[in-house]
Amino acid sequence: MFSIDPESGLIRGARQVLSPHCDARPGGAVPELIVVHGISLPPGDYGGPYIEQMFAGNLPVAAHPYFATIPPGRVSAHALVRRDGQVVQFVPFGARAWHAGVSSWQGRDACNDYSVGIELEGSDDAPYEAAQYESLARLIAALCAAYPTLARERVVGHDEIAPGRKTDPGAAFDWARLRARLKEPVA
């Protein structure tokens, strides 16, 4: 079971790799939306250090030819759920992570301002692991308990807030499985 300290915005017991790629939420904005992403670096490779290095700002561009194709810029997410279900936190939930880019949800732009970004280690066309769905459901439950402005019904994919620009978490992500799990009590 995860628990979140709403004051610090940190997950108790999770591994922390804090990213410099974040800032304060503007004008009293609070988390109201959870955005699910999918990521692997290089694409289709799992378990390496590169996601953490990218979010921490020290991705070794020479380590793989694909890394040279990543547009320059600073990017982060609040948390990453690894293939084995391990959760790594990069940005405290009260801060603004830079995960959504140009985005809109229900007519409201700039989703980074009011959302939590959770990356799943994976790709659009490969099934995600059972441990990831379990950890994601537990993390969402903990977020909703810590922040009353969040609700289990306000969970969307990156593709939904940036249609035509983003495709993650992809067709392989089982939304029905997650939604069913979110309706169950999370132990």
**Where along the chain do its domains lie?**
3-182
Write down the H helix ranges in the chain.
Answer: 50-56, 130-146, 158-161, 175-183
**Could you tell me how far CA 10 lies from the centroid of its own chain?**
14
Active site members: 119
Average of per-residue pLDDT values in the chain: 95
* Topology at the third CATH level for domain 3-182: Lysozyme-like (3.40.80)
Structure confidence by residue, pLDDT tens digits, 118-155: 999 999 999 999 999 999 999 999 999 999 999 999 99
For residue 187, name the pLDDT band (cuts at 50, 70, 90): low
Q: Is the pLDDT of residue 90 over 60?
A: yes
Strand spans (E) along the chain: 3-5, 10-12, 15-16, 22-24, 33-39, 79-81, 87-89, 95-97, 104-105, 108-109, 115-121, 155-157
φ and ψ at residue 38, rounded to 5 degrees: -130, 140
Cα separation, 135 vs 118, in Å, equals 11
Q: What is the pLDDT of residue 186?
A: 61
Residue with tokens 């391990």: 86
Structure confidence by residue, pLDDT tens digits, 162-184: 999 999 999 999 999 999 999 88
Average pLDDT over residues 67-93: 95
